[in-house]
A = this chain, B = another copy of it.
């Protein structure tokens, strides 16, 4: 098996790995600072390792993952200071002189879960993370879904009953889109405490399941997945899974088959392992 590199770029930390998969990947992480300093640390990590044949980058977004585009490999309209319009793939190519693959963090995680995790062998499934944001990646007929750029599955608009939940939503672009209602910061803002501090059985979890179930119904109606893998910090609350299954079944009401809803198997390593899978030339969809 080829020795490959993976870079998972998040807004607050970078994770780098070298190896061929979950069985042998060596993994390090460090904080995201400026692009210059951060790329230097990436280069330092790979210099300390046996050479790799290619590197995959799994990046926070929005990004341009289209190899035909003039801005391929760029992070585009992020509000994150210093990273907007940064030629990420170009900087890694310059620093390390190996072929580079580039996609979203959630597409990479989807690829990793399909290769080594909770969606092994499936040609149609969705990977969703619910944490500081709500994001998703998908395999459609065995290939990563891109469209014009890439999905932004958390920014869909869903019913919001303001009598039940007066919280206005905190997405800076859309207010009460799914992410604005259901990501970790929304839970914190609505209940005055981070999700992990709220007890099992708190009404927050029924509400959370209700919003996510609406997202699942919409993703399912549009993509007809076999399975939905739900990860991220918020989904570590195990009682969400049975609540989701009940609520999604209720909302679909027999019209469509209820997709499996399961946690990921690769946990926090999904992104960086997905970056390795990207490097392997796994479906890039471009």
Contacts and interface: CB of A to CB of B under 8 A. Distances in A.
Interface of A: 62, 77, 124, 140-141, 143, 145-160, 173-174, 214, 217-219, 221-226, 251-257, 259, 285
Nearest to A122: B148
B222 A156 contact: yes
A27 B49 CA distance: 67
Contacts of A152: 221, 224, 255-256
Given A140-B145, A158-B159, A159-B159, A221 B255 contact: no
Contacts of A149: 224, 257
Contacts of A151: 221-224
Given A140-B145, A147-B140, A158-B158, A153 B255 contact: no
A27 B141 CA distance: 33
A264 to B, nearest CB: 20
Majority DSSP secondary structure for residues of A touching B: loop
Most chain B C-beta atoms within 10 Å of own C-beta, residue among A149, A156, A221: A221
A62 B221 CA distance: 12
A124 B66 CA distance: 13
A156 B221 contact: yes
Most chain B C-beta atoms within 10 Å of own C-beta, residue among A140, A149, A285: A140
A174 B222 contact: no
A225 B159 CA distance: 23
A251 B174 contact: yes
Nearest to A148: B224
A148 B222 CA distance: 11
Nearest to A136: B222
- Chain A to chain B: the 5 pairs with minimum beta-carbon distance, closest first: A147-B224, A173-B255, A156-B218, A124-B147, A148-B224
Given A159-B158, A218-B218, A147 B256 contact: no
B124 A256 contact: no
Given A155-B221, A157-B214, A157-B217, A253 B147 contact: no
A255 B223 CA distance: 22
Contacts of A225: 147-148
B217 A156 contact: yes
Given A159-B157, A285-B141, A222 B223 contact: yes
A145 B255 contact: no
Contacts of A285: 141
Contacts of A156: 217-218, 221-222
Given A159-B158, A174-B255, A218 B224 contact: no
